[in-house]
Amino acid sequence: MLTIKKDFPMEPEVLEVLRYIQDATKKMGVSYLLVGGRAVDLLLHNVHGLPIYRPTEDIDFIVALKSWEEFNYLKNQLIKTGDFKNDSKKCQRLIYKEKMPIDLLPFGKLEKPQGSISWPPDGDMIMNVQGFQDINAAAEEINIFKNKMVIRIASIPGLMVLKLLAWNDRFEPKDAQDISILLHKYNLILDEKRLYEDIELLRVLDSDIEKVGAVLLGRDVRMILNAKNINSIKEILNKKEKLLNAIASSLFGSDLEEKFATAEKLFEAFCEGFSDKN
């Protein structure tokens, strides 16, 4: 189980939201998972002590539900606290204390077809929830001792899956930036034994630890996915040119060739790890 570093405490408002979500889902007997940019920040910064690379205001949760009635009940439970309000423009969104967007993304038995949800009443808003089941099964837990709370959060491999799927859906720069961050920083959160135990991998990669981390991330992503989702991620990785350019654009520096070379190096290492079936 993971813990928060004492020198990198969580924001009080984020903790308050997590408490509300945990209490409401526990009362209903359903599971939730913290995802999105806030989850990336929490794992890299608060748990592992790395800088915050892309600050984000909103908080995203996926919630395993059986029906839209359960979804509406969950929203109403939160609204009844007086601290949450509906967002009139986005049906999945609540606003916490007039300023913080909270997205609740349901998945589970209400998926029709599997991997997709159609928002009632008209079903005109369709959202891709592919991979949510696999990511939920591979969740991490963070023990927040001071608040006597254990929260569920997507693992780094799970977040990588979500970011790749999101990129494929909408091609937003923020998703490419998060993919870049995870590729660059995975080596920094692994223990040394894991990083250095594969002697042959170190030899092939000339002991480039960033590349080793990207390969291991690829392996870890493949490990949490079912066969269908493996094929979906493989298809995304095969359409690499646009994603590579977006990753390169998110890097610091002015030398475009150098940024592209860096992005390509780590992306190809990730793909190599993802293709490794062992």
Q: Among 154, 188, 209, identify where a domain stops.
A: 154
Q: Among 98, 126, 154, identify where a domain stops.
A: 154
The domain of 62 spans 2-154
Give start and end residues of each alpha helix (H) in 96-208: 132-137, 156-170, 173-189, 192-196, 199-204
Q: Would you say 221 and 213 are in contact if contact means Cβ atoms under 8 Å apart? A: no
One-letter amino acid at 257 equals: E
Q: What's the pTM value of the predicted model, to 2 decimals?
A: 0.95
42, 72: one domain: yes
207, 248: one domain: yes
18, 137: one domain: yes
15, 41: one domain: yes
Residue 94: pLDDT band (50, 70, 90) is very high
For residue 125, what pLDDT is reported?
81
Q: Would you say 154 and 14 are in contact if contact means Cβ atoms under 8 Å apart? A: no
**What's the rounded Cα separation, in Å, for the pair 118 and 237?**
27
Q: Which helix (H) or strand (E) holds 230?
A: helix 227-238
**What's the rounded Cα separation, in Å, for the pair 139 and 224?**
10
Question: pLDDT tens-digit profile of 177-191?
Answer: 999 999 999 999 999
Determine how many CB atoms are found less than 10 A away from the CB of residue 49: 13
262, 233: one domain: yes
99, 198: one domain: no
**What's the rounded Cα separation, in Å, for the pair 149 and 142?**
8
Q: What are phi and psi of 106, to 5 degrees?
A: -80, 150
For residue 277, what pLDDT is reported?
64
Question: pLDDT tens-digit profile of 237-261?
Answer: 999 999 999 999 988 877 888 899 9
Domain tally, the chain: 2
Residue 7 DSSP code: T
Question: pLDDT tens-digit profile of 146-174?
Answer: 778 999 999 999 999 999 999 999 999 99
128, 208: one domain: no
The residue behind tokens 């250095």 is 196
pLDDT at 141 over 80: yes
Determine how many CB atoms are found less than 10 A away from the CB of residue 27: 11
**What's the rounded Cα separation, in Å, for the pair 48 and 5?**
7
Determine how many CB atoms are found less than 10 A away from the CB of residue 42: 26
Q: What are phi and psi of 80, to 5 degrees?
A: -60, -20
Question: pLDDT tens-digit profile of 215-237?
Answer: 999 999 999 999 999 999 999 99
pLDDT at 53 over 90: no
pLDDT at 278 over 80: no
67, 141: one domain: yes
Of 170, 61, 67, nearest in space to 112 by CA: 67
| Whole-number percent of the chain with pLDDT over 90 | 84
122, 194: one domain: no
175, 123: one domain: no
146, 170: one domain: no
Q: How far is CA 1 from CA 53, 59, 78, 232, 242, in A?
A: 24, 22, 28, 30, 37
130, 8: one domain: yes
For range 193-209, the mean pLDDT:
93
Q: Would you say 155 and 224 are in contact if contact means Cβ atoms under 8 Å apart? A: yes
CATH code for the domain of 22: 3.30.460
Determine how many CB atoms are found less than 10 A away from the CB of residue 175: 23
Residue 124: pLDDT band (50, 70, 90) is confident
Q: Would you say 183 and 211 are in contact if contact means Cβ atoms under 8 Å apart? A: no
Q: Among 137, 154, 171, identify where a domain stops.
A: 154
